Structure 1
Amino acid sequence: MSQALAADGVHVRAPGKLNLFFEVGGVQEDGYHDVASAYQAVSLFEDVWATPSEEFTIAISGTVDVADVPADDRNLAVRAARLLAQRIGYTGGVHLDVVKHVPVAGGMGGGSADAAAALVACDALWGADLGVSELHKLASRLGADVPFALMGGTAIGTGRGDQLSPALAKGRFDWVVVPSHAGLSTPEVYAHLDELRARPDIRGGAGVPEVEPGVLQALRAGDPVALAEHTRNDLQVAALSLRPELREALELGESSGALAGLVSGSGPTLAFLTADPESALELQVTLSAAGLEALHVHGPVAGARIAA
C-alpha cells in the first residue's frame, strides 16, 4: 500500500550510549552471549533526515571518520527503513541523510542510534503512527542496542541486551569520552573474550549475568562516586588484549582525576566518569594536552526524538 506522507521531511536526533556496567555470560550454542548491562544515553548525537524518494538511498557525513560506514543496504539505518516499510506495506522509498557524531565502531552504539532515528523518522514521514511498542519490536529485530537508542535515559538490559527495563537515575552524570581512530569489531571482541576465558587466570562466564545492586543504588542516588565503585565491563579485558595501546590512555585518565575509567562496550572508545562538569572539563584539558581527542558528554538524555 502507498500512504500519504506526513511531511516533506523529518529530522530525528538519537543519542549514543555508554555501558556503565556490562557482564557477559558464557557463549551459547548459537555463538551469542547473554548479558546484563546498565545503559546510559549521553549527549553525543546522530542526526538523521528522512525525505521522500522512490528508492531507498542514504548519504553519510559527520564530524567523525565515516569512510568505513556502508552507504547501501548493509547500513543499519537503511535496513530499519526497509523493515518499517515492509511492516506497514509502504511501497515507496526514502532518502536518509545521516550526520554522525558518535565514533564509528567505537562501542557507543552510533549505528544503532542511526537505525532508531530512521525508524522514528520514517514512521512520521509515512504517517504510520505505529507507537512506541511496535517500533520497539522492530528495533529488537535490528540489533541489541537499537531498542535502547529508541528509549534513551538509563536502562537495564538483559538477555541479548534488548530486554530493557527503565532505571531511575537521579541528576546528571558527567563523562569524558576518548575515541579511537581505529575501530574494533564487536564479534571479534566477544570471540577473543571466549578465548581468554579458556585460560585459568581469566574468570567469568558462569551463571546468569546480572547488574550489581550497587550500580542501581548509585544511579538512584545520583552519586558518581558510588557508581565508580561498581562500574565494570567484562569485554574490557578482551578489548585491551586486542588493542594494548589503550592501556596508557586508560591509566592516564584514571590518574588525572577520573573517578573511574573503562572501555565503552566492545571498545575501543574509553569513557571516564567524573565527579561534576568542572572535573570533566579539567580532565578533558589534561587528556587533550596529552594529544588525545577528548569529548565531554553527560547523561542521561532522551532517546530518538523528532527535532526542530
Structure 2
Amino acid sequence: MKAIYDVAAPAKLNLFLHITGRRPDGYHLLQSVFMLIDWCDTLHFELRQDGRITRTDLGSEASEALPAEDLVVRAARALQHASGTALGVHIGLKKRIPSQAGMGGGSSDAASCLLALQRLWGVRLPAAQLQAIALGLGADVPFFLSGGHAWVEGVGEKITPLALPAARFVVVKPAAGLPTDAIFRSPGLKRDTETATIRGFAANANGSVYEFGHNDLQPVAQALCPQVGQSLDWLSMQHLQGRMTGSGSAVFAHMPHEMELAVAPGDWQVRKCSNLDAHPLAGW
C-alpha cells in the first residue's frame, strides 16, 4: 500500500461535562458524554521510504495556518517510535473543524492518523499500547480511537461505548477562541459536581438525553469570552436551548425539527450537523 486518501476525522460535542474532582497531580476528573458529529477534517497519507514524517497544510476554512508540530505530526512520530518501523509518511491535512472550539479537532486528527498509519505501515500495536500513546497525546485522543459515542470518565481514559438516538444539532463557533488552560486554571471553576451514572443519564427525567446535566466549564468560559454568551443568546432567539461543548468557545443546541435560522454575525461559523452512527474508521 502506497497511500491512503480521504481519511475523515470527525468532531465531537460534549452533551454535558461535569468536573467531579481533581487528582494530586493537578489533572481534573470529569464525566461526560462525547458524541461524534459529521463536521470533519480530511487527511491524506502517502508512504515515504526514507523514514521522514512531513505534513502539508491543505488549508483551513478559518484561514488558520497549522503549527509546525501539531498533534498529527506528534502522533505519527509516536507510532513510528513505538512500532520500530523504518517507514515514513507525508500527510496532507484539510482543516474544517475550528480550533479553540472544544470540538476536539486536533485530537480527532491525531486518532485518525494513528489508525491510518497502522494500516499504511503494516504495523499493529496492542490496543492497550495504542491507547497509552493516544492518552500521551491528549485527554480526548483515546475517545476518538473508540469507534463511536461514549461515556467518558477519569481524565479521559475511561471510555464506555454508548448508543445515542439519531439527532440534528445547530453548532455555533464564534470568532473568538478560548485556550483550555485558562479555564482549568480559574479559581472560579466548579470542581465538585456530584458523580452521575450512565443509568441516570439514560433515564433522564426530562425525557431527552440531550437535556441531561450541564457544562461546568461554561460559566468561566463566558466570563473570559463574552462571545460564548452572545452565541448562547443567539440560539435562545431561535427558541433553542444551547450549551457549550468542551472548553469552548463553540456552543450547540439540539434541533428537534428542521428549521430556518436567523442570520448570525458574519465572522461566526454556524452549521447544522447530525450525529454519526459510528466513527468513519471504526474497525480499523
- TM-score where L is the length of structure 1: 0.82
Residue 62 of structure 2 is matched in structure 1 by 65
SS of the residue corresponding to residue 305 of structure 1 reads: coil
Q: Note if 1:51 corresponds to 2:46.
A: yes
Distance 1:178 1:289, change over 3 A: closer
Residue 29 of structure 2 is matched in structure 1 by 34
Residue 270 (structure 1) shift:
1.1
Matched-pair identity in %: 32
Aligned length: 278
Residue 10 of structure 2 is matched in structure 1 by 15
Q: Note if 1:205 corresponds to 2:187.
A: no
Counterpart among 203, 212, 216 of residue 202 in structure 2: 216
Distance 1:289 1:183, change over 3 A: closer
Contact residue 23 and residue 211 of structure 1 kept, 8 A = no
Amino acid at match of 2:188: L
Distance 1:213 1:238, change over 3 A: farther
Contact residue 149 and residue 304 of structure 1 kept, 8 A = no
Deviations along 1:129-149, one digit per CA (max 9) or x if unpaired, are 336554333222211111111
Q: Note if 1:196 corresponds to 2:188.
A: yes
Counterpart among 150, 173, 181 of residue 187 in structure 1: 181
RMSD: 2.4
Residue 3 of structure 1 is matched in structure 2 by none
Amino acid at match of 1:254: S
Residue 228 (structure 1) shift:
4.1
Counterpart among 220, 230, 247 of residue 248 in structure 1: 230
Alignment of 1:157-306 (within 5 A): 157-169=152-164, 171-192=165-186, 195-197=187-189, 204-206=190-192, 209-211=195-197, 213-217=199-203, 226-258=208-240, 260-276=241-257, 278-279=258-259, 282=260, 285-286=261-262, 288-289=263-264, 291=266, 292-303=268-279, 305=281
Amino acid at match of 1:267: G
Deviates further, 107-116 or 124-133: 124-133
Amino acid at match of 1:243: C
Distance 1:144 1:304, change over 3 A: farther
Distance 1:275 1:231, change over 3 A: farther
- TM-score where L is the length of structure 2: 0.89
SS of the residue corresponding to residue 250 of structure 1 reads: helix
- Can you give the 5+ residue segments of structure 2 that lack an aligned partner in the other structure? none
Residue 150 of structure 2 is matched in structure 1 by 155
Residue 187 (structure 1) shift:
1.1
Distance 1:255 1:227, change over 3 A: farther
SS of the residue corresponding to residue 267 of structure 1 reads: coil
Contact residue 176 and residue 225 of structure 2 kept, 8 A = no
Tell me which protein shows more helix as a share of its residues: 1
SS of the residue corresponding to residue 245 of structure 1 reads: helix
Distance 1:100 1:225, change over 3 A: farther
- Can you give the 5+ residue segments of structure 1 that lack an aligned partner in the other structure? 1-6, 198-203
Deviates further, 297-306 or 26-35: 297-306
Distance 1:165 1:294, change over 3 A: same
SS of the residue corresponding to residue 234 of structure 1 reads: coil
Distance 1:240 1:225, change over 3 A: farther
